[in-house]
A and B are shown apart, each in its own frame.
Chain A
Amino acid sequence: MALKLETDTISRKKIHGSSIIYVPSGKYLKYATFGCSSLLADLVYLWAIQYYSDESITDRFQHLDHIFSIISELDPRYSDPYDVGALIAAYEAGDLGLSLKILDKGLENIPDQWFFPYTAGHYAQFIKKDPALAQEYYKKAMAIKGAPDVIRRLYADAIFKAMDYERALQTWLEIFETAKEDRIKKIASNHIYQVKAAMDIQNIKQAIEKFKKRFGHLPMDLSQLLKAGFLNTLPKDLDGKDYLYDSQTGEVKMPTIPWKR
């Protein structure tokens, strides 16, 4: 026992992850599992959780793809590693491409799992700030049986963020008409307000630009745009209120915050 304690005090150089990073792909490793590939996938996953929790290993993200692909090849239907692997890739490794790759693999192996394209859409929208890509993923998620209604609302929001206002308005109107709960109707109504306001503000700003080009200064108020013929009618918000105009800066704003209607 004394010898053991003494040996433990001697520091030895370790190659972190050496037990797994040189392992061949899961496709070939499966042959060596003798029918226990699911258990080996569990053990590799448990090991990976401990490995990626160790912040002292500075290059731990180098083999992220390899390690999580081993798990997916050993047990393609094991859903937790896809979620966790994508989470680590997105938030800790900062590799969104890898994160989406892991989630795509998850969807390929477990086609009835809506959570993967939903998570991918979430990462595309809020981390990558790519609403067009987010739309694609949300659309895939919506097509899977059992997907919650919230994904449709996220899809509509992604269309709005991509500034496709016509389609966003149409989608929110569909959500409003098909909503069974008052809460959802209220949410859809607020978004419809927001989309219409964005469309109106876009038109007003275009008219202001034309006015400025013609007359060399910003209009004093929005009625001048009517008189100058740059607008046929003065748009109002869904509640019938006028949009707020700042003649100093040319900014146009909604009179009400949509969520406080």
Chain B
Amino acid sequence: MKIKAIALNTFKEAIRDRILYLLLFFAAVCIIFSRILALLTVGDRVKIIKDVGLTSLSLFGALMAILMGVGLVYKEIDKKTLYTLLVKPIHRYQFLLGKYFGLVLTLFIMLSLMSLIFLAVIFFHTFRVEWQILLAILYIFLELCLITSVALLFSCFSTPILSSLFSLSFYLIGHVSWGLETLIKKLRPGTGKTLAQLLYHFVPDLENFNFKMEIVHKLPIPPKIFLFSTLYGIFYTLFVLTLAVLIFRKRDFI
């Protein structure tokens, strides 16, 4: 109940933030612009619209998660409103989880709005509703949940600027970590290879939530990957949130 109350309050606060609408506006512009961009191609126009649309959803969603998430806890500390909350009979983890779920709810609304615009643009082009795209959007949302947890983690002990940098780095590393596999294959057996392997397993792999290529090209996706990607997302998010709770519990605000 307490988590729910904090979540709803966080949602009401976040939904009023102008940065969200600015990012939503730019996302809408990108998605609508893709329709014009598609006119320049020779061949399949829908592919251009889908690629631009899905990338916009992912990129602007990540920006929303990072920019909102890094200020979640920091703002409360900075404005000293956290003290009034902590004297109340709520645990620190309840506060943190409430903040997390509040932002996740905000992101869900924003992503839904962007998705509606995207599906509408596709519908006006093809006069068909492409339900498979919802699958790609679902996993984008899962990715955003993970990024939000990371932003929240950094927000617990760092300033907004540094938290933004760290969260953005997490996002970028997450999308490049698949390259470590190539590096591991090229390394000779030894300490270097072992370290690379350890890094590969520890560093986040956000490509697990990236089904854009498969959805756009209508490639078959093994059903098993959906389950494992979802579990990976959930467990990694839980791990990051646990870390955030542990850091926040130990933090002294006086």
Question: Which one of A38-46, A161-169, A195-203, A218-226 is at the B interface?
Answer: A38-46
Known contacts A31-B176, A75-B213, A77-B217; A38/B41 CB under 8 A: no
Q: Is the CB of A42 within 8 A of B48?
A: yes
Contact pick for B210, options A31, A35, A42, CB 8 Å: A35
Name the prevailing secondary structure of the B interface residues: helix
Contact pick for B175, options A35, A45, A80, CB 8 Å: A35
A34 partner residues in chain B, CB cutoff 8 A: 171-172, 175-176
Restricting to A12-41, which residues have a CB under 8 Å from any CB of B? 31, 33-39
Q: Which of A33, A38, A78 has the most CB of B within 10 A?
A: A38
Cα of A77 to Cα of B219 in the assembled complex, Å: 9
Q: Which of A33, A39, A75, A84 has the most CB of B within 10 A?
A: A39
B171 partner residues in chain A, CB cutoff 8 A: 34
CB of A144 within 8 A of chain B? Answer: no
In the complex, the number of residue pairs spanning A and B with C-beta atoms less than 8 Å apart equals: 56
Q: Is the CB of A39 within 8 A of B42?
A: no
Q: Which of A34, A36, A79 has the most CB of B within 10 A?
A: A34
CB of B43 within 8 A of chain A? Answer: yes
Known contacts A45-B41, A46-B40; A35/B58 CB under 8 A: yes
Known contacts A31-B176, A34-B176; A39/B37 CB under 8 A: no
Q: Is the CB of B52 within 8 A of A50?
A: no
Contact pick for B40, options A37, A49, A75, CB 8 Å: A49
A79 partner residues in chain B, CB cutoff 8 A: 43-44
Instruction: Give 1 or 0 for each of B30-62: 1 = CB within 8 Å of chain A CB.
Output: 000000010011111001100110010011000
Known contacts A35-B206, A80-B42, A80-B43; A42/B212 CB under 8 A: no
A238 to chain B minimum Cβ distance, whole angstroms, is 44
B55 partner residues in chain A, CB cutoff 8 A: 36, 39
Cα of A45 to Cα of B51 in the assembled complex, Å: 13
Cα of A42 to Cα of B51 in the assembled complex, Å: 8
- A110's closest neighbor in chain B, by CB? B217
CB of A83 within 8 A of chain B? Answer: yes
- A28's closest neighbor in chain B, by CB? B179
Name the prevailing secondary structure of the A interface residues: helix
B141 to chain A minimum Cβ distance, whole angstroms, is 15
Cα of A75 to Cα of B216 in the assembled complex, Å: 11
Cα of A39 to Cα of B213 in the assembled complex, Å: 9
CB of B207 within 8 A of chain A? Answer: yes
- B39's closest neighbor in chain A, by CB? A46
Q: Is the CB of A46 within 8 A of B41?
A: yes
A101 to chain B minimum Cβ distance, whole angstroms, is 20
B209 to chain A minimum Cβ distance, whole angstroms, is 9
Q: Is the CB of B213 within 8 A of A38?
A: yes
- B213's closest neighbor in chain A, by CB? A38
A59 to chain B minimum Cβ distance, whole angstroms, is 22
A33 partner residues in chain B, CB cutoff 8 A: 175
Cα of A45 to Cα of B37 in the assembled complex, Å: 12
Cα of A83 to Cα of B42 in the assembled complex, Å: 10
Cα of A75 to Cα of B40 in the assembled complex, Å: 18
Cα of A33 to Cα of B52 in the assembled complex, Å: 13
B210 partner residues in chain A, CB cutoff 8 A: 35
A37 partner residues in chain B, CB cutoff 8 A: 213
Q: Is the CB of A49 within 8 A of B217?
A: no
A31 partner residues in chain B, CB cutoff 8 A: 176, 179
A32 to chain B minimum Cβ distance, whole angstroms, is 8
Q: What are the nearest 6 A-B pairs in CB distance?
A: A80-B43, A34-B175, A35-B175, A39-B51, A77-B217, A39-B55
Can you report 10 residue pairs joining A to B where beta carbons are below 8 Å apart? A34-B175, A34-B176, A36-B58, A36-B59, A38-B51, A45-B41, A49-B41, A50-B40, A75-B213, A84-B42
- List B residues at the A interface (Cβ < 8 Å): 37, 40-44, 47-48, 51-52, 55, 58-59, 171-172, 175-176, 179, 206-207, 210, 212-213, 216-217, 219
Known contacts A78-B217, A80-B42; 13 further A-B pairs (Cβ under 8 A): A35-B58, A38-B216, A42-B47, A42-B48, A45-B41, A46-B48, A49-B41, A49-B42, A75-B213, A77-B217, A78-B47, A79-B44, A80-B47
